Amino acid sequence: MLSMGGDQVEEAVAHAAKVLRAAVGLDWSVRAGGLDWSCLETAEHIAGDLVAYAGQLTGRAQDAYVPFEIAFDEGAGPEDAIRVIESTGGLLSAVVRTTPPGVRAYHPYPHGSADAVGFAAMGVAEVLLHTYDIAQALGVDAKPPAALCEAVLAWLFPQVPPARAPEDHWATLLWATGRGTLPGRPRLDKWRWHNALSIPAGRIALREVSPAAAADLAAGGPGGLTWIEGGPFDGTRRAAEMVTKAYASGVHRPEWGMFALVRAEDEVAVGGMGFHGPPDEEGIAEVGYDLAVGARGRGYASEALDSLSAWALARPELSALLALIEPANEPSQRVALRASYVRASDRGDLRAYLRRG
């Protein structure tokens, strides 16, 4: 799996320190890249982001940023700035490693929260990109390891078609953040990264599965989750394969892919649920779901489907959800009915159930 965590934060900070130390003797008062900050102010921003992300997680902030900031001491120079980046990077990496699964803290983009992996990915992105901004102004090379760029793209930019070759991951990340150009793609003047969505559903939380986690599930891994015995079921792995293929083809739409069903009480994953793609031209999206055998018969799927459907039907582009179920699969049909779906005309050999907004 394209891992993202404390190790990747440390790797990004080590890369930044190496790049920036090569420019210690240069003039850090010049403006960094396309920013309004000087190089020294940009370094202060990197350190500020790293410690702020750590503070969000340790403070379990839910509604806003924890109200503090850091500043370099008066007279601090480039070497001092690098040492602060190393120190604050160590804080974030330690916090990411020790934050329990399921903990989310406030971040505005795009749904108001992120988990520890999300904050690690944002920290890595801030370090790589702003190191580039400084290096560009000072005339030193700042190309980071390709695997780091690939991981940031897979965790934070699932809407961006991935690069075809390892040497292109950095150029793709620069394009995705408005810093570069790519053949056949218009230059971006606005951009946002995407933290995975989490939807509460009573005893279950629906956790959006990123392309990075989906690839691991499709290959037989756990996708970064702790699974109930016997899980994940075959349907979950097939759904993960669909997400992986859609991402590789450049057609994956965040939020319209796969969600893991995770028990709120113990953070154990019990199944998968999600969409076969975004709404079609009629505003209809197809939904699918399955549970590991050991989690069946407890109402988890009905609770999750009801919550996911309510969330989706509040979206303006969606008018109805469709579930297609084999006639012999009576438990899945009961799940749909309990989640307020109604029987519709059969589609070929499958029974159809609809829920409208």
DSSP designation for 247: H
Q: What is the pLDDT of residues 196-219, one digit of tens each?
A: 999 999 999 999 999 999 999 999
Average pLDDT on 302-311 reads: 98
Burial of 86 from C-beta contacts in 10 A (0-12 / 13-18 / 19+): middle
Q: What proportion of the chain, given as a percentage, has pLDDT over 90?
A: 99
pLDDT of residue 357: 86
pTM above 0.85, yes or no: yes
**Residue 193's pLDDT band (cuts 50, 70, 90):** very high
Helices 116-138 and 39-59, packing angle to 10 deg: 180
Two structure tokens written together for 174: 């620069």
Burial 133-161 (b: 16+ CB within 10 A, else e): bbbbbbeeebebbbebbbbbbbbbbbbbb
Q: What pLDDT, on the 0 to 100 scale, is given for residue 45?
A: 98
Q: pLDDT tier at 160 (50, 70, 90 boundaries)?
A: very high
Span 216-271, pLDDT tens digits: 999 999 999 999 999 999 999 999 999 999 999 999 999 999 999 999 999 999 99
Q: Is the pLDDT of residue 159 over 90?
A: yes
**pLDDT above 80 for 322:** yes
CA separation for the pair 126, 116 (Å, rounded): 15
Distances (CA, A) of 329 to 323, 325, 335, 350: 12, 7, 10, 10
Tokens representing 220 are 């037989």
Average pLDDT on 47-53 reads: 98
- Complete domains list, the chain, with CATH: 6-176 (1.20.120.450), 198-356 (3.40.630.30)
Q: Which residues pair with 201 in a beta bridge?
A: 204
